[in-house]
């Protein structure tokens, strides 16, 4: 069973607009959540994280929101840039194990 779900395989956004990527998880015991960005032929790169004691974390153009009651995580990118075009994975961990979603391919149109 998928512990972390990303229900949108792809998303297209105009340059300068907001990109919103969504993620749902199943286990309320998860306490650390992350977003990774992946370009083709490269490994995933850590983008931003949030612990379960917070509901928002910002880093420049990237903001992660956590809704624990809904078991929902989202990543907002504002403004979106063509270089943001990549596959984005959400992830969570419990103890030493990390669980990843299936990814959302973001295309930012110039």
Question: Residue 98: in which H helix or E strand, if any?
Answer: strand 97-100
**Cα 95 from Cα 93, distance rounded (Å):** 6
The Cα–Cα gap between 79 and 87 comes to: 17
Residue 14 or residue 28: which is nearer to another protein going by CB?
A: 28
CB of 44 to another protein, least distance (A): 5
Q: Among residues 7, 17, 32, 78, which is the contact residue for another protein, using CB under 8 A? A: 32
**CA–CA distances in Å: residue 81 to residues 19, 28, 71, 78:** 10, 34, 28, 8
- Choose, by CB under 8 A, the member of 19, 64, 73, 103 that binds another protein: 103
Task: Rule CB under 8 A: say whether 43 interacts with another protein.
Answer: yes
Pick between residue 17 and residue 54 the one whose CB is nearest to another protein.
Answer: 54
Kindly determine how many residues on this chain lie close enough to bind another protein according to the rule CB under 8 A.
25
Q: How many other β-carbons are positioned within 10 Å of the β-carbon of residue 92?
A: 25
Binding site for another protein (CB under 8 A): 2, 4, 6, 31-32, 34, 36, 41-46, 49, 51, 89, 91, 96-103
């Amino acid at each position: 069973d998928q512990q972390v779900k990303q229900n949108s395989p792809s998303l297209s956004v105009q340059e300068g607009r907001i990109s919103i990527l969504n993620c749902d998880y199943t286990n309320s015991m998860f306490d650390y959540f992350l977003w990774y960005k992946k370009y083709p032929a490269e490994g995933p790169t850590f983008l931003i994280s949030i612990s379960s004691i917070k509901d928002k974390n910002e880093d420049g153009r990237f903001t992660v929101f956590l809704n624990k009651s809904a078991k929902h995580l989202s990543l907002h990118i504002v403004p979106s840039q063509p270089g943001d075009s990549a596959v984005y994975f959400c992830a969570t961990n419990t103890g030493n194990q990390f669980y990843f979603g299936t990814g959302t391919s973001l295309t930012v149109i110039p």
